[in-house]
Structure 1
Amino acid sequence: MLALPGWSPVQADAGTRLSCRQLRVHASLSRDQIVAWTALTGILSTEADGYGMTGVTEESTCAPVMLSTGLRDVVTAYRAVILDIWGVLIDGKSALPEAAECLRQLRRHGIAVLLLSNSSRGSDNLRSYLNELGVPVDRTDHVVTSGELAAEHLSGTSHRRALQVGSDEGTDWLVRDGRVLVRTADQADVVVATGAVRDESLLPFWMEQLRSTARRGVPMICANPDRELYVGSRRIRAAGHLADLYVGLGGTVTWCGKPMPEAYHSCLTRLATDAAHVVAVGDSLDTDIAGAACAGLHRVLVLDTGVHRDMAGLAGNGLSEAIRERGTALPTFTMDRLRW
């Protein structure tokens, strides 16, 4: 579901294409916000009205500024920071070296911290997991996860029989409100994609199930829009990849989490401030940077420890060109890893 600011929701079915003119007229989005929507491949038509040729803002043409020291270079200009988790605070196995000190300094300087993750875990479950890894969650103010957003979405539907695809860590929210998990496609009235593809040998079975539910018109909820992630040094596919496959089968997907506007609306509501006073930090152009840009936030891309570590050697205009080739919004700042 594409719930664009100021516009009625649009279902993201296969073949749906929105022109830049539609977005400008109906949603009053800036050019920089429009760029963010190219992260949802195939949904935005960039050719419809000479996109990229006119209306370029100064911010969207400037090369990102490298924060050579750390967040302290800029963050005190904001009231709050939204931090991604995987690739920023942790590597999937342990806390990254300077994460705890950065959280301590943010608290010391009176800057509110909200953790926003595309994890399919519930918020309380993720807090416990982070504590086990050595991340001091008590130094943060809020935790928002794709799992919680998906649970909120499900609670407003009549779906009661969920077929889960993907890993299931911390997804007990699936059986709230009288819902049950089912084992086969013919029993399901909703498919929920969660976690990651930790065992590739399960893909053929999942694909068989997804073909069946897609034929019957069963909707999918994607409770982790990430298409890939790192666990230590291992790169694996995530639930967003399964959702892409479902769209390819003709299925309908509702995405819960970054880069969708609902995720950022939820964050700003919790922080009780507006976008101008918040900076977002993440490692993914397609989710963290695209979503923050669409929400009107300044944004920091972490390179060395995230999914774009292949760009770590680039800087200035070279980095800008590499990002533009991907068709996503530019970050405001970059840094090698999260540090104060």
Structure 2
Amino acid sequence: MINAVLLDLAGVIYDGERAVPGASDAVARLRAAGLPIRFVSNTTRSSKPTILARLAKLRLSVEGNELFTPAEAACDWLREHGRAAHLLVHPDLVSEFQDLPADGGMAVVVGDAGDAFDYPALNAAFRKLVDGAELLALAPNRSFKDADGKLSLDAGAFVAALEFASQRQAIVLGKPAPGFFHSALATVPCTAAEAVMVGDDAETDVAGALSAGLGQALLVRTGKYREGDEARFAPSPTATVGDIVAAVEWILARRSGAT
């Protein structure tokens, strides 16, 4: 039984500045069927208001409480643990980290900093870590589909470098951390086993969701997908489909009991 849907954004709903063909209507079909939707994104170059504005331009009306981001999860963690933040993030994301503890312990927060990933910035973060700071990874993704249509290096490699140098293990706050999926599902009336995840990343979206206890996870052949991704990580996808339109068809067919 499917009683809730978690959707990735980049590569599933939009590709760069353009909507994936049929995405808006596909999401509307899920809403019309009465299925709760939560959008779970590992995007760490844009603030939550920026993401919501982008979705609105693509004819997708998404409420703030339907969108879950790693930056939001990081702020919750910092407040809960009373830690000040040393940020190694994209300049466009800095605005998310407001009204946080200013003293006490320290945590290094790493996102996709883009051109800000230079030696001075990485070394400053490293020095905080060897002085005892926690290491928070907004997302450990290996790559993302860049504006030129090719894959580019994502934040995961820089997180791994800081882990290696500091001998500290990162606390992952976005996908594939089970808590990230569970926090989204905590706002809908269903169990994890009754939810389905749709994503273009076989590792963080699909294997992550299934490892977190979601009943099903679909891999779409859009965004960063490359041939053979469905066999590269375990658990493997429940199904691999062409795009968000095909994913919604798959979901609605099984929700209605069709075979």
TM range (shorter): 0.7 to 0.9
Matched with 2:252 is none
Verify the 8 A CA contact 2:91 2:113 in the aligned structure 1: no
Shift of 1:276: 2.7
Matched with 1:331 is 237
List aligned pairs for 1:60-75, cutoff 5 A: none
Aligned equivalents of 1:329 and 1:169: distance in 2?
A: 34
AA in 2 matched with 1:331: P
Structure number with greater Rg is 1
SS in 1 for 2:219: strand
Structure 2: tracts of 5 or more residues without a match: 249-259
- Encode CA deviations 1:224-258: one digit per residue, 9 max, x unaligned: 23232113313222222221111111133111011
Structure 1: tracts of 5 or more residues without a match: 1-76, 181-187, 313-318
Q: 2:51 aligns with which of 126, 131, 144?
A: 126
Identical residues among aligned pairs (%): 25
Matched with 1:168 is 91
Aligned equivalents of 2:47 and 2:64: distance in 1?
A: 16
In the superposition, relative to structure 1, how do residues 327 and 97 fare at CA in structure 2: closer, same or farther (>3 Å)? closer
1:295 to 2:226 alignment: no
Shift of 1:211: 3.1
Q: 2:17 aligns with which of 75, 88, 93?
A: 93
- Encode CA deviations 1:85-118: one digit per residue, 9 max, x unaligned: 1111112322211111111111121111110111
In the superposition, relative to structure 1, how do residues 176 and 106 fare at CA in structure 2: closer, same or farther (>3 Å)? same
Query: Which one scores higher on RCO, CA 8 angstroms, separation ≥ 6?
Result: 1
For these two proteins, the number of residue pairs brought into alignment is 241
1:265 to 2:182 alignment: yes
AA in 1 matched with 2:7: L
TM-score by length of 2: 0.83
1:236 to 2:142 alignment: no
In the superposition, relative to structure 1, how do residues 263 and 204 fare at CA in structure 2: closer, same or farther (>3 Å)? same
- Encode CA deviations 1:44-91: one digit per residue, 9 max, x unaligned: xxxxxxxxxxxxxxxxxxxxxxxxxxxxxxxxx522110011111112
SS in 2 for 1:164: strand
Aligned equivalents of 2:82 and 2:131: distance in 1?
A: 17
SS in 2 for 1:226: coil
In the superposition, relative to structure 1, how do residues 135 and 338 fare at CA in structure 2: closer, same or farther (>3 Å)? same
SS in 2 for 1:244: helix
